[in-house]
Amino acid sequence: MQAEIIIIGAGMAGLMAGRVFTAAGKNVLILDKGRRIGGRMSSRRDAGLLFNHGAQFVTAHSPIFKDMCTEAAAKGIVGLWPATGRDMAFSGQPSMRDIASFIGADLNVQQEIEIEQIVRLEKGGFALHAKPSSENEPAPYHCQHLLVTAPAPQTAQLLQSLSPPLSKIAAAVHYAPSWTVMAELQEIPDKLAPILIDKGIIGWASCEASRPGASPSGALTIQASAAYSEEFLEAPAEKVTADLLADFAHQQHITAPNWGYQRGHRWRYAKVIKPAGADAPFMESQTASLLATAGDWHPVAASPTRPASGARAEEAVLSGHRAAREMLQKMPA
Ligand SMILES: Cc1cc2nc3c(=O)[nH]c(=O)nc-3n(C[C@H](O)[C@H](O)[C@H](O)COP(=O)(O)OP(=O)(O)OC[C@H]3O[C@@H](n4cnc5c(N)ncnc54)[C@H](O)[C@@H]3O)c2cc1C
């Protein structure tokens, strides 16, 4: 398989970059190891319930992302979510993954392809080797230019021998983990706060029915605080689920909660807490081939009043946009 440009990762950064390359008429292929598009913009449908267990909402403060959210809102894909108490906070209506699908519409994306090794070719370009499936050894993917948007630890590993300087920058990035519980409250009390923020061991909890466009349901997404997630990172999901459900009931004053569906999910790398520096290089050129990196860990500030933190999906979008624009400028016409 051959493409002029390959992007590793179909999260917000990779999809945005794919859009920029496609708009410039480039032949671009996006490869992602996950089953579905979107990376950490993830939604899960199970037992007739919808849970958004990754990013809870997106904020739009840059002209690029504001325009995108406005377009997606006009199509009914996103809506403002005032219950968050944040300015310009949008939720999918009601699936967060739909935001990623909107950005990635019409792009050439292949899912369930995990790149294990990247080799620089003497004549220029790269050969990407995917993890073999049980039946066959896949042929390598070839490209002239490569953009890697995997989370920093995976990027550091992939680029270890290919580009020690870019790998070192990625290796210095830190993330906070997040234990997340998806659960159903079968009897919904009259007074239920739609969102809890920083209460007890809960960092964030959403009643999924409070999202714009959501149907009534008792689906809850409860995310532990960073401190709890760090302390109990290796604990069994059953213990974490029990802890978070008990605290949710306590915080919401529910004396005899009737729990149905329950599932715990551990994000080892949820939100960036130490991003790459603002001046850290993200691109290099050798033998007429560009190698670049992007993602929330290489964030771009959304506005002069919002310094880049790395913890927001918008900054991943802007990082993908910046990387693609700069690669286009350096590519031979
Ligand atoms: C629990 C949680 C809550 C959050 N809450 C918010 C919030 O409320 N608001 C907000 O703005 N942000 C939030 N975030 C952060 C936001 O989700 C991320 O900043 C953003 O989605 C990152 O996008 P990305 O493209 O940089 O990375 P990702 O979404 O991680 O995409 C990277 C992709 O690379 C793929 N990949 C990795 N390695 C390989 C490989 N070897 N081969 C092929 N593919 C590979 C992965 O499958 C993944 O799809 C939250 C994140 C989590 C986990």
Residue 26 in tokens: 């480039």
* pLDDT of amino acid 332: 79
By most ligand atoms within 8 Å of CB, the mutation choice from 29, 40, 99, 115 for ligand 1 is: 40
- Does the Cβ of 269 fall within 6 Å of ligand 1? no
Taken in order of first residue, the domains within the chain and their CATH numbers are 2-42+96-173+275-330 (3.50.50.60), 174-272 (3.90.660.10)
Taking the model in full, what pTM does it have? Answer: 0.97
Residue with tokens 């953009």: 147
Tell me if 229 CB under 6 Å of ligand 1.
no
Q: What is the pLDDT of residues 47-66, one digit of tens each?
A: 999 999 999 999 999 999 99
pLDDT at 134 over 70: no
Question: CA–CA separation, 54 vs 45, rounded Å?
Answer: 13
Mean pLDDT of 188-209: 95
Confidence of residue 190 (pLDDT cuts 50, 70, 90): confident
What is the C-alpha to C-alpha distance for residues 143 and 124, in angstroms, rounded to an integer?
A: 9
- Would the CB of 313 count as within 6 Å of ligand 1? yes
Q: Is the CB of 33 under 6 A from ligand 1?
A: yes
The amino acid occupying position 106 is D
Distance 114 CA to ligand 1 centre (A): 15
Strand 109-110 relative to strand 58-59, pairing: unpaired
Other beta carbons within 10 Å of 11: 31
